[in-house]
Amino acid sequence: GLAEPFEGSPFQILAGLLPDGAVLWAGNSMPVRDLDGWFGSVDRSITIRSNRGANGIDGVVSTALGSAAVAAGPVALVVGDVSFLHDLNALVAARLHGLSATIVLVNNDGGGIFSFLPQAQPAAAVPGTGLPEHYEELFGTPHGIDVGPIVTALGGEHRLLAPIDLRDAIADSIGRSGVRVLELRTDRARNVELHREVAGVVARALARARAEAGAA
């Protein structure tokens, strides 16, 4: 595993830990793309779902927790901080109705997907657009909110985790009663670099495997 926070890690971990009958939800923007890229093949029956509201981030937590009311197996959600903060009232409903879920909160303090897009680059400077000098205000949208006290006040359990502790925390949480929010803080700019680095490692490994298979 990586020593630094990688936003694809929760899906790699969940692929190895979720049992038969589990339900995995992926938030919009980066989480659903990281699901596609880093959740490997499994030999268990795991239902994978995603919900896209009118603005993309609407109701992600509510939908996942609503499914926990009827799911036969444990429910897990990987969600970004903007979507999570937009739907905090879902935690109130979970407490009132006794719902249980593991929420992995990938907190990069804003809209991480935009860091992958052209408007994040210096070359995006176009008169009248406000870019790139107002990129953070218009696209990055940092909030600086400490979600821990909010989660606790709304009846959930919160843990801020180092990357090395994420696997054990998820393993301990799956199937337990109540809502647990496991927070992994990442850096938006570094996340772009790290995705490219990890993808490069995977591509080189696949190339070697194909070369070895062709030589056999």
Question: What would the pLDDT profile of 68-116 be if each residue is shown by its tens digit?
Answer: 999 999 999 999 999 999 999 999 999 999 999 999 999 999 887 777 7
Q: What span, in angstroms and rounded, lies between the C-alpha atoms of 93 and 76?
A: 17
Is there a domain that residue 70 lies in? yes
pLDDT of the residue at 114: 75
Specify the pTM.
0.89
**90/125 same-domain check:** no
pLDDT of the residue at 34: 93
Is there a domain that residue 2 lies in? no
Q: What span, in angstroms and rounded, lies between the C-alpha atoms of 87 and 56?
A: 12
Is there a domain that residue 88 lies in? yes
**175/75 same-domain check:** yes
Place of tokens 């009311």: 69
Of residues 165 and 142, the one with the higher pLDDT is: 165
Is there a domain that residue 21 lies in? yes
Question: What would the pLDDT profile of 29-48 be if each residue is shown by its tens digit?
Answer: 899 999 999 999 999 999 99
**78/174 same-domain check:** yes
Least confident span in 18-22, 52-56, 127-131, 168-172: 127-131
Count of structural domains, the chain: 2
**121/62 same-domain check:** no
Q: What span, in angstroms and rounded, lies between the C-alpha atoms of 96 and 179?
A: 12
Q: What span, in angstroms and rounded, lies between the C-alpha atoms of 114 and 139?
A: 6
